[in-house]
Amino acid sequence: MIVGNAEPTEKRKNLAGERAVDSKFYLTEGEAQQHIDPSRIEVRTGSGGTKTAEYWIVPSGATFDSTGTQPVDESKVKAVPDHPKPAAKKAAKKAQ
């Protein structure tokens, strides 16, 4: 379980969700290369009031107390890699 938080003063509305989704991406596909099964990680937003993502380990058979959190719609919030691949360079024009 990953719970993303945001400060009330942050301008972008969805930063808490983005933090949670970015953290999940890092663990499943990102540069950490942990290759954790994405279906094992649920992402939520919380009301921590800080620029953080909290990681909670929920043992098999246990339940997470989701009070004060909301699920993130991952079809609307996409991961933004911390270090995206560089853009392709344009081919140089040949001198005539």
- Give the pTM: 0.77
- Quick check: 55 and 2 in contact, CB under 8 A? yes
Look up tokens 């009070």; give the residue.
67
Query: 31-59: buried (b, 16+ CB within 10 Å) or exposed (e) per residue?
Result: eeeeeeeeeebbbbbbebeeebbbeeeee
- pLDDT tens, 36-47? 999 999 999 998
Q: Domain map of the chain by residue range?
A: 2-61
Whole-number Å distance between alpha carbons of 23 and 47:
17
DSSP 8-class letter at 90: P
- Average pLDDT value for residue range 14-21: 93
Whole-number Å distance between alpha carbons of 49 and 46:
8
